[in-house]
Chain A
Amino acid sequence: MNNIPLIPVLLLGAVLFCLGILAVITKRHAIVVLMGIELIFNAANLNLVAFNRHQPDLMQGQVFSVFVMVIAAAESAVALAIILKVYSYFKTVNLDQIRHETDV
């Protein structure tokens, strides 16, 4: 357990990050996009945890990932509130259909 190499973990984090980005870019549903963002957060957390494993002195990585989780939770709450608001305003959460067409 102790000798899990660093690189595969970082690669996994990068893949997760890319998948998150992919979800954010391609998905139309706002909540799925939010899920993509969560993936990105987790990719970052994975990196932090992996780096902590190699330099465990002060437990900086673990502490940071805890902070990230807290912020992600807060962010999700805010984002969900926004999505709710958007839904009540536009009657949809499909990002393609949400356009604030001031110029029409």
Chain B
Amino acid sequence: MNQVAAPLLTPEQNSLALWALLVLVLPLIAGGLLLLFGKKLTRQGDWLAIAATGLAFFLSLYLFFQVWEKQAVHVTWPWFQLATGNTSIISFTTGVYLDNLAVLMLVIVTFISLLVQVFSVIYMHGEWRYHHYFGYLGIFTFSMLGIVLSDNLLLLFIFWELVGFSSYLLIGFWYEKDAAVLAGKKAFLFNRVGDIGFLFGIFLLYTYFHTFDLILLKNAIASGVNQGNNFLFPAITGQADAITLSYTWLTLAGLGIFCGCVGKSAQFPLQVWLPDAMEGPTPVSSLIHAATMVAAGVYLLSRCFPFFTEDALLVIAIIGGLTALLGALAATAQYDIKKILAFSTISQLGYMVMGMGVGAHDASLLHLVTHAFFKASLFLNAGIVIHAMHHAAHEFSDEHSDVQDIRNMGGFRKILPFTFYAYIPAAAALVGLPLFSGFLSKDAILTGAWGWAGFKSQNGNLLYYVIPVFAFGSVLLTGFYMAKHCFYIFFGESKLYKEPELLRENKTAEASGLLLVPVAILAVLSLAFFFSLNPFNYAGSWVMQGVSWQKLLMEQPGLSGGLLPAITTYLHEASYISLATAILSILLAVVGIWLGWLSYKKAVAAGGLSTITAPTSGFSRLAYRHFYLDAFYEKVIINPFMRLSGGAAAFDKNFIDYSLNTFAKIMVVLAKLIGWVDRWLVDGTVHLLVKVAGVTGKLGRFMQNGKVQSYYIFSLLGLILLFLYILAF
């Protein structure tokens, strides 16, 4: 392995890169082995998957302590070469890039993957494709780590697609269910829509900069100079010419990359696939559709942050804010335990994307980290509850009740106390109560958003305040739906199954230890203490300091150049904002919880808990149906498309197939005719000749019968004939 672009590599950095590659391939090897030979291994090989992921996690920790706040490692290797028309050769490199962000993501991905796999040992116990499940998880972990480690956009895109593919496999894991198959297909297709934009963005960047290498791109863009409507960039290492590029094209390139994020991170208008993805096994929802994969879009935004112009960032902020609000609104009307969490995930991802858009790059990443822990925890909790409900439903031979409907639950505080106490910190973190991790990150984003709006609206245009208002509105709604979620599941009395013992594993333990330990670890990690020594001050958080935009800008200022320092200055001058957002968000969250409590009380009083009905009021119907986005796509895109394809099929059948068939029929008739001629004329002549020869032969044989007397007769006849001939002529 010879390095091309980076001659200053120390052997130590080289070995770090090799360790990173090992982390990358460990889950792949385990996954591949499980898919091929899983059935033959003891316990179907779950220990192999867990051991590989565990090893990857410890190696990631080692890498983390080697790289975090110390050094960035960028090792490249030649990948492939392409010849161009004019004898020159374009070389592509591949490589590993380890900086604070990458090692942080490495640790999170491997850690949550490890916990989820431990959880799955019990949760997926007895599945007939148990080893496939762990194999798929291995492939997913590999792909996700690939996204994190890639140093160039092309490689990143390949892993991006692989992640989508493994997500498809896992959503459709129970492919016996039609809903799971449809959900997998939907997720895959909606991601493709975003990926087209992503590819477009990559192509745009490549067309102008002739490299996929993220570091080279960043360096080039960092040293760009604004010239009127154009940006002037210096030549990239190894290339001759300086690059001039118009502002519009750069904005479009940034929006293209953002499209990838819209698909993968379930942003408006492509977010509809995520709720359906809940058809997959719950641990998968926890790992992929809450903690890691959907955060890949946010990770991508962060990696490409310097490529975004101010206009692109504005679009990102609007989409993010809108998604946050829509997700939270939809969550309020849901009653499926997992759907509520899914819409909440959409809403939280909206926060992160909005954070990126308003320039709170570091706050957004902090939220990514804290969200990964508390949302994974919430999903695993939901998994335990669903597991318990399934257990009871099985005991009662109840096949009709919806075991995922929170209106069928209740009283789990006493039945599953451990789960309840693990649930509370995670839910509190999601709502954003102080002392919990979500408070820190949400506060950071809200402050950023408010500061951004304040800075932008200095010219008097107060429309910019819509974004922070959306964000604060989502805080209120989050409190509301999580309070409902919590009260319906854990308070009151068990509605469907009256005997609590049936919901528990046995008399002494509420659930298997392998289910409870990962949940407990994640719940503990939902405390703010782990992210910042002062749980009220996000600025002191080690994560924030590690990935802070000041650090980012020091290295690479990016296209939006002066925007971030200006916002910081503004925030610094208006120091009341930080305090005000904290107080306001706590207040809103508490009000939200109180409203949730009222709504729960009202439902109890109305006796609405035992009757499962579809929502009646206009707004709740709208929210329950997710603003009819699915119906909209169905009407506007899918139906016309189906009609088009139906028309094409009809044209195919009635015109192309018909003419082909007619032609074929004519050919058959012709062939029959030729066949007849062949049989009766050609073959007939031959047969006639054969017959003649046969008859002649028979005659000859008849005369040559070996009897002297007949010979005599024939010669006599011959003589007579001779006489007759002579007489006649």
Contact = CB atoms under 8 A, between A and B. Distances in A.
B712 A99 contact: no
A23 B204 CA distance: 118
The listed residue with most A CB atoms (<10 A of its CB), out of B707, B708, B712, is B708
A33 B710 CA distance: 13
Interface string B692-717: 00000000000000111100110010
A95 B706 contact: no
A5 to B, nearest CB: 25
Contact of B709 (A25, A99, A101): A25
B709 A33 contact: yes
Interface string A33-70: 10000000000000000000000000000000000000
A98 B707 CA distance: 8
Interface string B516-552: 0000000000000000000000000000000000000
A24 interface: yes
A21 B706 contact: no
Contacts of A98: 708
Contacts of A100: 706
A95 B716 contact: no
B339 to A, nearest CB: 98
A21 B715 CA distance: 12
A96 B707 contact: yes
The listed residue with most A CB atoms (<10 A of its CB), out of B709, B712, B713, is B709
Nearest to B716: A21
A34 B702 CA distance: 25
B712 A24 contact: yes
A98 B716 CA distance: 21
A99 B713 CA distance: 17
B706 A24 contact: no
Contacts of B706: 99-101
Interface in A83-104: 95-96, 98-101
A24 B713 CA distance: 9
Residues of B in contact with A, size category:
under 10
Contacts of B716: 21
Contacts of B707: 95-96, 99
Interface string A6-41: 000000000000000100111000000100000000
Nearest to B708: A95
Nearest to B709: A25
Interface residues of A, number: 11
Interface of B is mostly: helix
Nearest to A103: B706
Interface in B670-729: 706-709, 712-713, 716
Contacts of A21: 716
A101 B705 CA distance: 10
A96 to B, nearest CB: 7
Nearest to A96: B707
A7 B709 CA distance: 31
Nearest to B710: A25
Interface in B624-643: none
Nearest to A100: B706
A95 B713 CA distance: 14
Contacts of A96: 707
Contacts of A25: 709, 712-713
Contacts of B713: 25
A21 B713 CA distance: 9
Contacts of A99: 706-707
Nearest to B705: A99
Contacts of A33: 709
B11 to A, nearest CB: 101
A94 B600 CA distance: 129
B499 to A, nearest CB: 103
A40 to B, nearest CB: 11
B309 to A, nearest CB: 108
A14 to B, nearest CB: 14
Contacts of B712: 24-25
A24 B715 CA distance: 13
Interface in B27-58: none
Contacts of B708: 95, 98
A26 B707 CA distance: 12
A80 to B, nearest CB: 16
B715 to A, nearest CB: 11
A41 to B, nearest CB: 15
A25 B714 CA distance: 11
Nearest to A26: B709
B90 to A, nearest CB: 88
A86 to B, nearest CB: 10
Contacts of A95: 707-709
A65 B709 CA distance: 26
A35 B30 CA distance: 114
Contacts of A101: 706
Nearest to A30: B708
Interface in B565-582: none
Nearest to B706: A99
Nearest to A28: B709
B680 to A, nearest CB: 38
A21 B716 CA distance: 9
A53 to B, nearest CB: 25
A6 B709 CA distance: 32
B138 to A, nearest CB: 84
Contacts of B709: 24-26, 33, 95
Nearest to A33: B709
B711 to A, nearest CB: 11
B709 to A, nearest CB: 5
Interface string B2-44: 0000000000000000000000000000000000000000000
A99 B708 CA distance: 9
B661 to A, nearest CB: 61
A45 to B, nearest CB: 20
A61 B334 CA distance: 143
A21 B706 CA distance: 19
A95 to B, nearest CB: 6
Contacts of A26: 709
Nearest to A24: B712
Interface string B460-495: 000000000000000000000000000000000000
A22 to B, nearest CB: 11
14 contacts: A21-B716, A24-B709, A24-B712, A25-B709, A25-B712, A25-B713, A33-B709, A95-B707, A95-B708, A95-B709, A98-B708, A99-B706, A99-B707, A101-B706
Given A95-B708, A98-B708, 7 more contacts: A24-B709, A24-B712, A26-B709, A95-B707, A99-B706, A99-B707, A100-B706
Interface of A: 21, 24-26, 33, 95-96, 98-101
The 6 closest A-B pairs by CB, nearest first: A99-B706, A25-B709, A25-B713, A95-B708, A95-B709, A24-B712
